[in-house]
Amino acid sequence: MAGQSIHIDGSIMEGGGQILRNAAALSAITKQPITICNIRAGRKQPGLRPQHLTGLNLVSTISQGSSLTGCSVGSNRIELRPGKFLAAGDYVADTLTAGSCTLMVQQALPCLLFAVKTTYATEGGDSGMPHCPPSTSNLTLRGGTDADMAPPIDYLTHVLVPTLLHTFKPLDLQVRLVRRGFMPKGGGEIKLYVQALERGTQLPAFDLTARGNITKVQVRAYYAGHVTEATAQQMADEASKEMRQLCGNEERVLFKQTVVKETTSSAVGDGYSCSIVVETDTGCILGAALPAKSSRVQPKPAAGQAVEELKDCILRGACVDQWMQDQLIIYMALAEGESKMLCTEPTLHTRTAITVVEKMLPGVLFQVSTVYNKRDKNREPLWMIRCKGAGLTGRYVQ
């Protein structure tokens, strides 16, 4: 697909780092050069921040032989000319700040699914090596795990990764939290294991339109440093109470609650995190996770905010939560066949992701439509997002 550079305005719509993440990942996968200008132009601190810089450099490193220019803190324009192939291997990326580790996962994971072993690619590819070991990658990411304005590690571990594993069987993907890093110190670390798609195989289209019945609600609260156990316990208790009210105290729903104290070896800084994960009998997973903006915690409002994030999705019967919507867009575009998901009103992040993906992958089009409940016309509608993907194939031989 390589050709003239695709120009993307980094200030359009949501205008944030997600434009960089999706555009850079798709550039590396398709070998299509990109130029992104006006990066984060409307933000309080416009241009690249350390986490964006680290993520872009990571993608450039995975894309062997690539050229990345303009990649410095504060830069409002970058150019990426991808290399000849995506290399599986061991990578370390450190923001040196509290910049989000989970946002770097969003950028690197799609690339690693289409990666090949360096020896395989450099020794002749398909013609030179009829068989080679599976292309596996180990990614170590350091920075903030429970950062503001980003999915916390608990969302990645308990919602996104399980959803991808359920949706794209038999995907081999594992994530492990080594150490939490709270604002403003960072210092967290996560590890990601990814096995690339087999040569000639594709991500399958998925159908997330049958919500089913809620079977399990898991509330987890973590605390570290000067945050007290009593505070975390109150937060978990309040979240559990409100979730029982929201789910109607149905006997068929299993409610579980966990409160964990992080030690000085398992967390850096003072902070907390409250996460709620909802599972259904059709395999849908909805989640909300709230990291601390300050160690001075008000437990009940914090718990209430986490529950509020899920309320609309649960009451309307959505199959994905508002945070999952935009994260699935790139996978819908890469998959083979028509994928669809039922959600609440698409967020600005979701609509921005669709715009960027359609520009990067000509021929891939998304359809967004409202879906009304036939039995309850007064109920707020859901939205159906459909996409016939590009059907890109894996590149290694097993």
Annotated binding site for ATP: 106
Which amino acid, one-letter code, is at 268?
V
**Do the Cβ atoms of 274 and 290 come closer than 8 Å?**
yes
Binding residues: 106
Q: Give residue 376's Cα distance to chain centre.
A: 33
Q: Based on the residue annotation, tell me whether 226 is a catalytic residue of this protein.
A: no
Q: How far apart are CA 149 and CA 161, in angstroms?
A: 19
Count the alpha carbons within 13 Å of 240 in the hemisphere toward its beta carbon.
17
Q: How far apart are CA 25 and CA 190, in angstroms?
A: 20
E-state strands within the chain: 6-9, 34-37, 63-64, 67-69, 78-81, 85-88, 90-94, 116-117, 136-143, 173-181, 188-195, 207-208, 214-224, 254-261, 267-268, 271-280, 285-291, 338-343, 366-371, 382-388
CA distances from 376 to 186, 329, 372, 383 (A): 47, 29, 8, 16
Tell me how crowded residue 162 is: count the other CB atoms within 10 A of its CB. Answer: 17
In sequence order, the β-bridge partners of residue 191 are 140, 176
In sequence order, the β-bridge partners of residue 277 are 218, 287
Residues 52, 131, 158, 349: which is the catalytic one? 349
Q: How far apart are CA 382 and CA 318, in angstroms?
A: 7
**Do the Cβ atoms of 35 and 5 come closer than 8 Å?**
yes
**Do the Cβ atoms of 111 and 62 come closer than 8 Å?**
yes
Phi, psi (rounded to 5 degrees) for 302: -65, -45
Return the residue matching tokens 């916390």. Answer: 152
Q: Which of 160, 174, 35 is nearest to 102 (CA)?
A: 160
Q: How far apart are CA 168 and CA 204, in angstroms?
A: 6
Tell me how crowded residue 389 is: count the other CB atoms within 10 A of its CB. Answer: 24
Query: Which residues are the active-site residues?
Result: 349
